[in-house]
Structure 1
């Protein structure tokens, strides 16, 4: 999808204002390729406390106005410097295959450090990349007026993180089909991440054990 963007599509507004489609594309690709940068750095020493995938989205300094401001600014600057509308897609296509090969060679217990200084198991950090890809994929699809292209596997990862510890009987009373792996799951993810989903009783979902992420 990214490789085939037209210039007219690239400047469409997104719900992630002030980002247009181009800036949102740059940010999303950068979020995915950050894995490769982290793998080039030395892992932290033994005995460090690890941050979980859910803990990565805690409402702390990583989503402060200062950090959010830099996140917004850097994507806008990179989008302005793009050669054409399809550049983010080409960059992702060129760099993703080598990254997959690198990931396949890593040991399961590998620990990486995020740009916020969080030590995380690589497998947990990759869960956050699925969250980023799926949620911003919804943003891009909506901005472009297209049907969401969420994969069933990706939805399973995200709904597992959001609803994994919840009372699903209570969740289904608020969000029917939340765990169906299809349209119901997409609607549920939209609702919990503020992506144009149904208006829901947040207190009821929190009481049911739903994890509610902080997002920039």
Structure 2
């Protein structure tokens, strides 16, 4: 999963390092976040991996990547409010539009070699208290970068920069071994399953019978 996370991080880094101030204040579908706030939140999702590695290791994994997106207290109004406010504050305090990109570059430079050295079967605890296999937690980070990458691309009016590795990992999580409906493209299916359908494109109703796991998202 490290390879998929790295592929997404490098593509997102390139975009964020090139942001202008005009682009940073564009609205996104993740209201009330503008591009700067959404970028801060997305980079923060990656930074949380190092925090999880620094914490005491739980004795065993108890939550899967699919279970992480269950509709429970981690998506409660109070948690959502904190999630929203922290990103807004980070965006308001930025030095310039490219700051999230620099933060991402630094975070991944520290994190990538550390992940290579982690033993198989490593377990971490998330900020929500979930004991997860590191591989499953990394998959949730790929989900964050892929889906919010789509949100950022749409807000900026650019084609998606999603990597094949990242999109494939999220597709397997959402659709399992059965895969997405045959006529649907990979990004179309991810959009439809996560409330990001484009006007005129396939939506959640087009996934009926596919066995999709619709994730609870904040």
Q: TM-score, normalised by structure 2?
A: 0.88
Within 1, Cα distance between the matches of 2:204 and 2:104?
A: 38
1:192-203 → structure 2 map (5 Å cutoff): 192-197=193-198, 198-200=201-203, 202=205
* Equivalent position SS for 2:124: strand
CA contact under 8 A between 2:61 and 2:123: conserved in structure 1?
no
Runs of 4+ aligned structure 1 residues displaced above 4 Å come to none
Within 2, Cα distance between the matches of 1:53 and 1:165?
A: 15
Within 2, Cα distance between the matches of 1:167 and 1:146?
A: 27
Equivalent pairs counted in the alignment come to 202
Within 2, Cα distance between the matches of 1:89 and 1:132?
A: 16
Partner of 1:28: 42
1:98-113 → structure 2 map (5 Å cutoff): 98-113=110-125
* Residue in structure 2 matching 1:86, options 79, 93, 98: 98
Q: Deviations over 1:26-59 (max 9, x none)?
A: 0000001110111111101x3x451000100001
Partner of 1:127: 139
Partner of 2:23: 9
Partner of 2:159: 147
RMSD of aligned alpha carbons:
1.5
Within 2, Cα distance between the matches of 1:167 and 1:84?
A: 41
Q: Deviations over 1:136-190 (max 9, x none)?
A: 000000000000001111111010111114475xx33xxx13xxxxxx1011100
Within 2, Cα distance between the matches of 1:201 and 1:138?
A: 17
Higher relative contact order (CA 8 A, sep 6+): 2
Relative to structure 1, is the Cα distance of residues 43 and 4 closer, same or farther in structure 2, using a 3 angstrom cutoff?
Answer: same
Based on CA coordinates, which of the two structures has the bigger radius of gyration?
1
Partner of 1:181: none
Relative to structure 1, is the Cα distance of residues 105 and 201 closer, same or farther in structure 2, using a 3 angstrom cutoff?
Answer: closer
* Equivalent position SS for 1:164: helix
Give 1:94 deviation, angstroms: 1.5
Residue 210 of structure 2 corresponds to residue 214 of structure 1: no
Residue 191 of structure 2 corresponds to residue 190 of structure 1: yes
Partner of 2:8: none
CA contact under 8 A between 2:175 and 2:210: conserved in structure 1?
no
Relative to structure 1, is the Cα distance of residues 201 and 8 closer, same or farther in structure 2, using a 3 angstrom cutoff?
Answer: closer
Within 2, Cα distance between the matches of 1:158 and 1:19?
A: 23
CA contact under 8 A between 1:165 and 1:210: conserved in structure 2?
no
